[in-house]
Amino acid sequence: MNYRAFLCGLSLLPAAAAMAASGDIKQNQASLDQIRSRIQALSSSIENTQSERDSLARDVQKSERRVAELESAVKSLKRRSAEQQKRIDATRAERTETQSRLQQGHAALAQQMRAAYVVGRQAQTQLLLNQSDVQQVGRMLVYYDYLQRAQTKAMAEIASRIDALAALAERLQAEQDQLLALQKEQQDALDQLRKTRKERAQMLDKLKQRIRDERGELKRMQAEEKSVRDLIQRLQDALSDLPPDVKFSDQPFAKLKGKLPWPVRGKLIARFGDDKAAGKLSWKGHWIDASEGTSVRAVARGRVVYVGWLHRYGLIVLLEHEGSYYTLYGHAQSTAVAVGDAVSAGQVIAAAGNTGGHDRSGVYFELRKGTEPIDPSQWLVR
């Protein structure tokens, strides 16, 4: 149910009847001005929301660009880190291979030293026993000495290479640690930016929905404005020939408080004062459950000042009573009276229905003193 439109219509109908009865239709303009003021406020709100939406959309766009930049940077760092890790692995593999060569060199040198020792011992024995060529023995000893020095030098170079590789691996690992730290920092920034972008996108969606809602409400209010203008004109046309002074009852209406019969008997779907439309508005009358076709009766003697349709609460009958009291009967399936008819208390004036776009049948009943709504519970028989 469109509660705002419903409220606007209800706030105008009794006022319109009173004005028509007194011949002062101009007072309706104040109510129309309220609707127009709401239309203007909605238009302004939509404009502001659109401006806010556009600004947020630009922020989201900037965030998306920044996300793309960070994603590219993180990918680049990952590639650099992977390449750096390959260099570290290659350096460590070379160091392991070089260490193996050094160990092999140590083993070869030890073997050479043992062979030289053996040759030296044999040479001394041969010199003593066989008096062999001294020069030949000397050459062999010089050869083994040369091999030992060459092997020792090679192993020293290998050891130096191992130290250099160790230093290189350490330096590469330090660089890798820095790359990983930078990668983590940028990944954290990227994650936070993605979160912010998501939040802004959600806010943008809400703003878009708010604009759609406000545009929908604006459209409804504009339709209501037209409906009220048409209503005023119909009231003016229908009541222009009615006698201004009609005696409704010998008993003042105010004396009927607590004695009025119910228009129909049924369970209350909603009662006066209850919140509606998410608490933004409250009910100005009772909505009474009733099967379609149930007779709706006037609660007191009065005169019909309006019969017709109004947006969202369907076919209505509006009665004027003594002392500027008014009763309204809405959602009717059909009516049994016409404008200008005098009706008595308990007279059937309509049949209950669900007009106005509702999915359940019933009667909307409202009581007003002039333009002010009154709680029907205080007037109807308990």
- 107-145, pLDDT tens digit by residue? 765 666 666 556 555 555 554 445 455 566 566 667 667
Q: Is residue 338 in a domain?
A: yes
**Same domain as 66, residue 17:** no
271 and 197: one domain?
Answer: no
pLDDT tens across 39-84, in order?
778 778 888 888 887 887 787 777 777 777 777 777 777 787 787 7
Choose among 231, 217, 366, 365: nearest CA to 305: 231
Query: What's the pLDDT at 22?
Result: 41
The answer to whether residue 234 is domain-embedded is no
Percentage of the chain modeled with pLDDT above 70 = 70
CB 67: neighbour CB atoms within 10 A? 16
The domain of 16 spans 3-23+244-378
Q: Is the pLDDT of residue 259 over 80?
A: yes
User: What band does 1 get if pLDDT is binned at 50, 70 and 90?
Assistant: very low
Looking up residue 262, the CATH number of its domain turns out to be 2.70.70.10
- Among 209-213, 266-270, 308-312, the minimum mean pLDDT is found in 308-312
Reported confidence tier of residue 255, pLDDT bands at 50, 70, 90: very high
Taking the CB of residue 149, how many other CB atoms lie within 10 A of it? 10
In a domain, 227, yes or no: no
pLDDT of residue 93: 80
pLDDT greater than 50 at residue 310: yes
pLDDT value at position 374?
92
The mean pLDDT of 269-295, rounded to a whole number, is: 84
Residues 171 and 83 placed together within one structural domain of the fold: yes
Q: What's the average model confidence in pLDDT over 1-29? A: 42
Both structure tokens of 56: 């947020």
Examine the domain organization and report whether 299 and 189 are in the same domain.
no
Q: Does residue 157 belong to any structural domain of this protein?
A: yes
- One domain for residues 198 and 315: no
pLDDT score recorded for residue 137: 58
Residue 238: the pLDDT is 55
DSSP state of 242: S
pLDDT at 172: 76
Residues 75, 191, single domain; the answer is yes
Residue 348 has a pLDDT of 97
**What kind and span of H or E run contains 178?**
helix 134-239
Number of structural domains (the chain) is 2
Residue 281 has phi, psi (to 5 degrees) of -135, 165
Q: Where are the beta strands (DSSP E) in the chain?
A: 268-270, 275-276, 281-282, 286-289, 295-297, 302-310, 314-321, 325-335, 342-343, 348-352, 362-369, 372-374
Q: Any idea what the CATH number is for the domain that residue 169 is in?
A: 1.10.287.1700
DSSP 3-state of 294? coil
More confident residue, 177 or 296: 296
Same domain for 183 and 140, yes or no, is yes
Q: Tell me what pLDDT residue 17 has.
A: 45
Q: Please give the pLDDT value at position 108.
A: 66
> Phi-psi category of 307—alpha, beta or left, where left has phi over 0 and alpha has psi -120 to 50?
beta
Q: What is the DSSP string of 23-55?
A: T-GGGHHHHHHHHHHHHHHHHHHHHHHHHHHHH
Is the pTM for the entire model greater than 0.85?
Answer: no
